[in-house]
Amino acid sequence: MFPGNRTTVKCLQPAVLGVETSLDLRPEHRKRTIFRLDGGSGSDEKLKWLLQRDYHIIAKGYSGKRAYVLAQHVSRWDAYNSTCWLGWVPAPIDFGRPVHVMVKKWLHKNEWKHSYYVTTLPFPSKQAFMIRYNLRGGAEIEQFRADKSGLFLSSRRKQSFEAQKAIVLLTDLAHNLLADFQHRGLAGSRFANWGLKRIVRDLLAIPARLHFRRSQLYRIDLLSSHPYSEELLICLEKYCSTPFGE
């Protein structure tokens, strides 16, 4: 772990070396290991360093200005979706190993924006390249942003450090419980792909009555007129029939 004010580009090398030590990554292992990197760690120096250590990469380039220059050399643009286009270009520098370089452009407020990507892997198409890049880790979206919007983490502030710490820990607990509920209870239903915010807002806010016997929940009555009640009851029954975490 590094301080929050330390940029990714400065954390990459010690983090990689730490992973090598922890996982005992020998040279033959590195040749089968891929690092997916966002723009914050994709500087020329860091990419070259990873390639020198025999890793594979699929990374977003560090420089927006270079992306604009590279875009001028694209001979053919292919649509990735309705909002952006992709094109191959020659490598702008010698990375020490053969690489493929792709530029993405999209229109934002009537102005073209550009980014570029570097990989050592062969791909059958630009679309396949971009799909693989987009499979990188997304904790900042999947957890942090979801907790801020769905569990209102950013809206709750305490002057006491210990009180704020307790709120964060309780939010983490709620996040894990909801993730388990989504994985086991909502799987196979129309709610399966709902985000954390919508689950809290549209499902958990349904008026209900809970019945307890000797401190044990034995019955749940949901408002019958709510459009989601019937299907949610099926999900709750399935979820409650197996222990937590299974």
Answer whether residue 110 is part of any domain: yes
Question: Which residue, of 121, 137, 153, is where some domain finishes?
Answer: 137
Q: Do 131 and 17 fall into the same domain?
A: yes
1 lies in a domain? no
Let me know whether 20 and 34 are in one domain. Answer: yes
Specify if 3 maps to a domain: no
d(CA 116, CA 111): 17
Chosen domain end from 82, 113, 137: 137
Whether residue 245 lies inside any domain: the answer is no
Q: Are strands 111-119 and 100-108 parallel, antiparallel or unpaired?
A: antiparallel
Shared-domain flag, residues 127 and 15:
yes
| Position 102 confidence tier, pLDDT thresholds 50, 70, 90 | very high
Model confidence band, residue 43 (pLDDT cutoffs 50, 70, 90): confident
Averaged pLDDT for residues 79-95? 93
Distance CA 54, CA 31 (A): 5
- pTM of whole model > 0.75? no
Average pLDDT of 166-176? 85
- For residues 123 and 12, state if they share a domain: yes
Do 131 and 12 share a structural domain?
Answer: yes
Q: Are residues 124 and 190 in the same domain?
A: no
Q: Could you tell me if residue 30 is inside a domain?
A: yes
Q: 25 and 127 share a domain?
A: yes
Contacts of 184 (CB under 8 A, 6+ apart): 238, 239, 242, 246
Flag whether 2 is in a domain. no
Shared domain for 131 and 41, answered yes or no, is yes
Q: Are residues 162 and 222 in the same domain?
A: yes
- Res 113: pLDDT: 94
Give me the number of domains the chain comprises. 2
Q: Are strands 100-108 and 208-213 parallel, antiparallel or unpaired?
A: unpaired
How many whole angstroms separate alpha carbon 246 and alpha carbon 242?
7
- Token pair for 54: 């025999």
Domain residues for 226? Answer: 140-240
Same domain, 131 and 144: no
26 and 132 housed in the same domain: yes
Which pair of tokens denotes residue 59? 């990374």
Residue 226's pLDDT band (cuts 50, 70, 90): very high
Q: What share of the chain is helix, strand, coil (3-state, %, to 5)?
A: 45, 20, 35
At position 219, the amino acid (one-letter code) is: R
- The pair phi, psi for residue 89, each rounded to 5°, is -145, 160
Q: Residue 143: which pLDDT band, with cuts at 50, 70 and 90?
A: low
pLDDT at 141 over 60: no
Mean pLDDT of 152-156: 69
Q: Which residue has the higher pLDDT, 83 or 103?
A: 103
- How big is the chain, counted in residues? 246
pLDDT at 145: 60
Of 137, 160, 192, the residue that ends a domain is: 137
Amino acid code (one letter) for 47: L
Q: Does residue 111 share a domain with residue 153?
A: no
For 64, other C-beta atoms within 10 Å of its C-beta total 12
Q: What is the mean pLDDT of residues 222-243?
A: 90
